[in-house]
């Protein structure tokens, strides 16, 4: 049971007390307040979905969750938190994979789920302005009748996994369409942000071109809620491709991935829209857990890994001709780069082939506890990174003991982004200590990045220096301090608190 006085929360900040709650109830209706404090007195179970991340790896102890409906409400809540030095965690769909969206102690959670209105959509320009709590999938459905698609697409959609556009921007999410439409740093045109002191920064521009000094909105893209709460997003959507095809290619060896990528880019040029890598173990996990329809034994025989290739273009016959020509040249070459290729023949098969790739995340979580490393390394090293990690864990005796059941690799080849996942029977310090700093040092040896697209969150605060030098970290901290000198906004995310990593298990 929570007491009514301020308990010291994480990072020397205050937690929400009864007096704060009564202030919040003057800002929000009761239906938007979830609290364990009197008089509402919910139990911790009632808040557990907000306090626990998607993987069940990170667990916070927030006693209160607020779900404002307007920017003015967010501003009033944050202003109070600033004055009372209450730690705040902005939360969207809570699908983040680095522990950024849940408290590390008992900070207040401000969940954006009730801010879910489309503010405007211009069918001529394709510019969409939406509340930050709009679910990405809902936005896709909203613009589809106008023949537009969102410039990003993630596996975190549908099936009760609903990432939101504010969360996407806050994490600078990459996903499956980055190869085609680029990063959110390019497609986001404007943002509305509530700063840590409650000020509303209105940068909700709908302009494609605007060279009027510093582009402040860029600072909030990928800031993981450490600089303010994004309440509105203006984003450039893309015309729906007139034709989309995909093909699942089985490769005899990983060594063929790079030549295949080069060949596909050359032959398909503007219609190549995705090029995703799946190693054999990742494929088998997806199949085991019912993600998409398994390929026939014949189609997978002798395959070390797979590539899911997608084309999106303006004219079906033209695209199919190009794709068929590519497949012919691949299969008929003297030393074929691929064993087989399964080309989707219907929308259902198109979706099923994608599910084999997109469903890996869910499959991994069903199989066991996932240690996820989302890294940028040279394409040529993808397999080595996975193999070296497996070998290292074997030497540590963890594979033999059965603690680690799978070491798999998949990811966005086109973006140089490998997802190295270790599946184990539990989250334990023994496995964690075996993996870190090993993986980070490996990444650094390739001059890679320890976070390609998921962010730093709470998971990698102690490892930031592997990808950023001291001067860069110093300037990042100066920026953080400029916006949030009281440190209330998402404490313990991106940066260490008091130089100490937090223990999660
Ligand atoms: P949350 O998880 O709620 O929050 C993420 C971070 O953003 C936290 O630090 C939080 O404090 C902050 N935040 C959230 N909303 C706001 C806001 N309005 N203002 C300020 N800060 C905010 N990620 C990829 O990059 N590519 C993928 O392909 C991908 N696929 C995924 C597939 C699955 C099955 C799952 C579970 C996750 C996947 N992710 C992927 C990770 C995750 O979905 C993304 O990071 C997503 O953008 C998070 O959005 P969210 O609304 O769930 O944010
Ligand atoms: C993906 O590409 O599938 C996502 O980034 C999620 C993950 O890494 O599992
Ligand atoms: Zn990814």
pTM above 0.90, yes or no: yes
CA gyration radius, the chain: 23
Q: What integer pLDDT is reported at residue 8 of this predicted model?
A: 63
Q: Are 22 and 8 in contact (CB under 8 A)?
A: no
Query: Taking the CB of residue 104, how many other CB atoms lie within 10 A of it?
Result: 24
Q: What integer pLDDT is reported at residue 3 of this predicted model?
A: 42
Nearest CA to ligand 1 atom 49: 167
Question: Is the CB of 368 inside a 6 Å radius of any atom of ligand 2?
Answer: no
Judged against a pLDDT cut of 50, whether residue 1 lies above it is answered with no
At 220, the pLDDT band (50, 70, 90 cuts) reads very high
> Given ligand 1 and candidates 107, 136, 170, 195, which is best to mutate, with the most ligand atoms within 8 Å of its CB?
170
Nearest CA to ligand 1 atom 38: 156
HSE-CB of 3 using CA atoms within 13 angstroms: 6
At 156, the pLDDT band (50, 70, 90 cuts) reads confident
At 4, the pLDDT band (50, 70, 90 cuts) reads very low
The pLDDT tens digits of the residues spanning 285-327 come to 999 999 999 999 999 999 999 999 999 999 999 999 999 999 9
The pLDDT tens digits of the residues spanning 418-475 come to 999 999 999 999 999 999 999 999 999 999 999 999 999 999 999 999 999 999 999 9
Least distant ligand from the CA of 154 = 1
Judged against a pLDDT cut of 90, whether residue 500 lies above it is answered with no
The pLDDT tens digits of the residues spanning 377-397 come to 999 999 999 999 999 999 999
Q: What integer pLDDT is reported at residue 6 of this predicted model?
A: 53
Question: Per DSSP, which regions of 150-239 are E strands?
Answer: 188-194, 200-203, 229-236, 238-239
CA dist., res. 79 & res. 77, Å (int): 6
The pLDDT tens digits of the residues spanning 38-86 come to 988 799 899 999 999 999 999 999 999 999 999 999 999 999 999 999 9
For residue 375, the CA-to-ligand 3 centroid distance in Å is: 10
Ordered domains of the chain (ranges, CATH): 10-111 (3.30.43.10), 118-239 (3.30.465.10), 243-360 (3.30.70.2190), 368-454 (3.30.70.2740)
Q: What integer pLDDT is reported at residue 414 of this predicted model?
A: 86
Question: Is the CB of 137 inside a 6 Å radius of any atom of ligand 1?
Answer: no
At 2, the pLDDT band (50, 70, 90 cuts) reads very low
Q: What integer pLDDT is reported at residue 243 of this predicted model?
A: 96
């Amino acid at each position: 049971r929570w007491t009514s006085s301020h308990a010291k929360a994480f990072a020397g900040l205050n937690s929400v007390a009864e007096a704060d709650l009564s202030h919040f109830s003057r800002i929000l209706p009761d239906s938007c307040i979830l609290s364990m404090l009197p008089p509402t007195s919910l139990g911790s179970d009632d808040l557990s979905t907000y306090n626990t991340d998607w993987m069940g790896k990170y667990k916070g102890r927030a006693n209160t969750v607020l779900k404002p409906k307007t920017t003015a409400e967010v501003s009033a809540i944050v202003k109070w938190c600033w004055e009372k030095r209450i730690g705040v965690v902005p939360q969207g769909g809570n699908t983040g994979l680095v522990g950024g969206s849940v408290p590390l102690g008992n900070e207040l959670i401000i969940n954006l789920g009730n801010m879910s209105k489309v503010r405007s959509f211009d069918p001529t320009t394709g510019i969409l302005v939406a509340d930050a709590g709009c679910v990405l999938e809902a936005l896709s459905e909203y613009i589809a009748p106008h023949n537009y698609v969102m410039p990003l697409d993630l596996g975190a959609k549908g099936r009760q996994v609903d990432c939101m556009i504010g969360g996407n921007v806050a994490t600078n999410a990459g996903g499956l369409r980055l190869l085609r439409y680029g990063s959110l740093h390019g497609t986001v045109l404007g943002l509305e942000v509530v700063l840590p002191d409650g000020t509303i920064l209105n940068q909700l521009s709908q302009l494609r071109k605007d060279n009027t000094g510093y582009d402040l909105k860029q600072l909030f893209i990928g800031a993981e809620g450490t600089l303010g709460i994004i309440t509105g997003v203006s984003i450039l959507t893309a015309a729906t491709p007139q034709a989309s095809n995909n093909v699942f290619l089985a490769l005899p060896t990983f060594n063929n991935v790079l030549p295949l990528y080069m060949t596909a880019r050359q032959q398909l040029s503007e219609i190549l829209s995705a090029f995703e890598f799946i190693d054999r173990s990742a494929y088998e996990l997806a199949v085991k857990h019912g993600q998409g329809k398994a390929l026939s034994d014949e189609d997978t025989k002798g395959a070390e890994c797979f590539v899911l290739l997608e084309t999106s273009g303006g004219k079906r016959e033209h695209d199919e001709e190009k794709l068929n020509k590519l497949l012919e040249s691949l299969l008929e070459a003297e030393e074929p780069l691929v064993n087989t290729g399964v080309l989707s023949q219907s929308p259902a098969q198109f979706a099923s082939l994608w599910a084999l790739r997109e469903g890996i995340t869910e499959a991994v979580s069903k199989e066991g506890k996932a240690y996820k490393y989302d890294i940028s390394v040279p394409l040529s090293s993808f397999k080595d990174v996975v193999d070296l990690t497996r070998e290292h864990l074997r030497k540590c005796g963890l594979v033999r003991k059965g603690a680690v059941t799978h070491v798999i690799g998949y990811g966005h080849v086109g973006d140089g982004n490998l997802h190295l996942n270790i599946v184990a029977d539990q989250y334990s310090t023994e496995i964690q200590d075996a993996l870190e700093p090993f993986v980070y040092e490996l990444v650094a040896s390739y001059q890679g990045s320890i976070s390609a697209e998921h962010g730093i969150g709470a998971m990698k605060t102690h490892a930031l220096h592997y990808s950023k030098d001291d001067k860069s970290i110093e300037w990042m901290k100066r920026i953080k301090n400029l916006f949030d000198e009281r440190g209330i906004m998402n404490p313990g995310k991106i940066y260490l608190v008091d130089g100490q990593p937090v223990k999660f298990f």
